Structure 1
Amino acid sequence: RSLGAIAALLATGAVYLLTDRIGYRGLFWGVGGLALVAGLALLPFRFSGDHLPPRRKVQFRRRYWLYYILAFLLGSRRHIFTTFAIFLLVREHGIPVQTTALLFLANSLVNTYAYQGIGRLVAHFGERTVLSVGFFLLIFVFLGYAYIPYLPLLYALFVLDNVIFGTSLANSTYLQKIAVSEEELTSNLSLQQTLNHISAIVIPVLGGTIWQLFGAQAPFLMGVGIVAISLTLVQFMRVPASEPTPTPS
């Protein structure tokens, strides 16, 4: 996390200081050149996958149905916001690239500490409660982007959304508690990434279409609908009670 925060700080500084001097094209050329140098520097190294566990086939079970649906909906709501929130800020409010960089830096720094706290909240209050509160707050985040033109509040909601996304780990811990075996847990956690990639393809295209047809509010109102469905479904979440530890007689 510390290395990630340092990298985010350096990247933000580069964007903030160099964009006006060398322009977007020069910045992209510079970043591309650094990536090329890093790739060439790694060529002499040989990375083997022998130490990795064998790939396991995903075992679909009816008992995992809620996990599957929530995984897709969490990815969908995430891609609505990451695609259209920054687009709204730039297109409708004209924020400069330096402000955009500072917003992403704030996200990175806040999440370095916030996600640890979210993990403790899940352990204390349980998955259903944490996800329910997160979805409830997200309704107001999406409504804010749909109807509120006040930039400072939109900046705060931008960071808040990223913090709330950390509650999605509760869906993974829910699967951990209901999984039949360790093998099924690993394979189904990997499936979450696949569902996320599917939503990454579908949601931006769908959201962009309804933006063109109905205006800038429409994708965020679609997000409200997705979050409302998620909030309803998460009430069906049930975690089996842990067995009491036997005491010696």
Structure 2
Amino acid sequence: MKRTFFKRIFVSKEILLYLITIAMIVSFSAWMSLLNNFVVEKASFDGSQIGILQSLREIPGFLAFSVILVIIFICQQRLVYISMITLGFGTFLTGLFPSAIGLYITTIIMSLGFHYLETLNQSLSLQWLDKKKAPLILGKISAIKSFTGLIVFVLIYILMNFLNVEYKYVYMIFGGITIIIGIAAWILFAHFKEKVPQEKKIRLKKEYWLFYLLTFLAGARRQIFIVFAGFLLVEKFGVDIHNMVILLFINAVLNIYFAPKIGKFIVKFGERTTLRFEYMGLILVFISYAFVENVYIAFALYVIDHLLFSMAIALKTYFQKIADPKDIASASAVSFTINHIAAVFLPAFLGLVWLYSSSLVFIIGASIAFISFILSFLIPKEPQRGFETILVK
């Protein structure tokens, strides 16, 4: 009975996808949640140094297309395990090198593992999951991300506030967990053969132009939320770190509950309706950010904003339906790079706009969401390969 139970686990693609997600979030959540305090307290960073570090962190995301070059020599599943170990190793080392050069190097190692792992996770999800079940499973994966992040945060709080564990050991613990998961998965899980051999070339296909464009716009909106929504709460309303943590906690709890339901919503109403709902909601949220004067309304906007971004699952399943199965790995890698193009220039540009008018930053965000909303009308009610947009005859 036990053998049968474990055998089922280690031949389940779905369980492996859950495990990849857990391993990824364990290290990345720990790295992110400790970073600002660590670089100031232990490495004496100034503003320019943290800016350089964050730019370095985004470079591997921008270069995610290089995954295609690597899988020429290493199969995707094996590269997943190598990426897990790389992510864990980069996190493990972070606390041991509290200097500018040390942190730059460990950040690149961590980020390379993280972005490769996230790219491959999306690629394998769309290859392995049945199209009818994909929204449901992706919703569960999103919930697992939030739940794992909560557990990591609670453990860090206990380790540092009650047990007085040093930064370097906390990084080592969570980085080590990811390394162990990566090695164990490599040894224990069956090797799943590719049903469809993947294209090993980097190319933009004209059939996927709408997906690429919506992905780029999603990356731009994501940067506005990540960089400026929280900054607005702190600068305009004076929200302290404790209330920001509470907000993040609320977001995570709500996502655990709603993410699976969003998957069911996509199954019932389709990608086109779901994306329209997301984009219309984001238009209203960004316009409200621009003119909000009440801190509690701002809190509500921050939570709604976070939940709406969970609906981006629909963009992945839209691509799954229109893609040639052999293109999923290459297109996933290319789309990940496209998603990060905005991260290279938009925060700096909008930071200058912010000095002139913070409201204008969010008006720009609303405009981007509006463009996405208009483009969503080009998505067929039942998208499929050969019928990627309504413009296709």
- Asked if 2 retains the 8 angstrom alpha-carbon contact of 1:67 and 1:175, the reply is yes
Distance 2:292 2:337 in 1: 34
Distance 1:30 1:95 in 2: 27
Candidates 325, 328, 334, aligned match of 1:191: 334
Distance 2:351 2:369 in 1: 18
1:146 alignment counterpart: 290
| Structure 1 residue 185: Cα displacement | 1.9
- Asked if 1 retains the 8 angstrom alpha-carbon contact of 2:202 and 2:334, the reply is yes
| Residues 1:170 and 1:10: Cα distance change in structure 2 (over 3 Å) | closer
1:175 counterpart = 2:319: yes
- Asked if 2 retains the 8 angstrom alpha-carbon contact of 1:145 and 1:154, the reply is yes
- The one-letter code sitting in structure 2 at the alignment partner of 1:116 is P
Candidates 353, 363, 374, aligned match of 1:221: 363
Distance 1:46 1:116 in 2: 26
Candidates 93, 100, 103, aligned match of 2:247: 103
| Structure 1 residue 217: Cα displacement | 0.8
- Asked if 2 retains the 8 angstrom alpha-carbon contact of 1:207 and 1:219, the reply is yes
Candidates 332, 346, 350, aligned match of 1:203: 346
| Residues 1:152 and 1:14: Cα distance change in structure 2 (over 3 Å) | farther
CA RMSD of aligned residues (A): 3.2
Distance 2:328 2:179 in 1: 34
User: What SS does structure 1 have at the residue aligned with 2:238?
Assistant: coil
- Asked if 1 retains the 8 angstrom alpha-carbon contact of 2:321 and 2:383, the reply is yes
1:166 counterpart = 2:310: yes
| Residues 1:35 and 1:152: Cα distance change in structure 2 (over 3 Å) | same
Which protein, 1 or 2, shows the higher relative CO under an 8 Å CA cutoff with sep ≥ 6? 1
The answer for unaligned runs of 5 or more in structure 1 is 243-249
1:11 alignment counterpart: 153
Which region of structure 1 is more displaced relative to structure 2, 233-242 or 202-211?
Answer: 233-242
| Structure 1 residue 114: Cα displacement | 1.2
- Asked if 1 retains the 8 angstrom alpha-carbon contact of 2:199 and 2:329, the reply is no
Candidates 172, 197, 200, aligned match of 1:36: 172
| Structure 1 residue 137: Cα displacement | 1.0
1:237 counterpart = 2:373: no
Distance 1:9 1:172 in 2: 27
| Structure 1 residue 4: Cα displacement | 4.6
Distance 1:38 1:14 in 2: 9
The answer for unaligned runs of 5 or more in structure 2 is 1-142, 386-393
State the TM-score, normalized to the length of structure 2: 0.53
| Residues 1:217 and 1:66: Cα distance change in structure 2 (over 3 Å) | same
Deviations 1:134-161 (A, max 9, x none): 1111111111111011111111111111
Matched residues, percent identical? 29
Distance 2:201 2:342 in 1: 22
Length, aligned pairs only: 233
State the TM-score, normalized to the length of structure 1: 0.80
- The one-letter code sitting in structure 1 at the alignment partner of 2:267 is A
| Residues 1:178 and 1:2: Cα distance change in structure 2 (over 3 Å) | closer
- The one-letter code sitting in structure 2 at the alignment partner of 1:106 is I
| Residues 1:35 and 1:210: Cα distance change in structure 2 (over 3 Å) | same
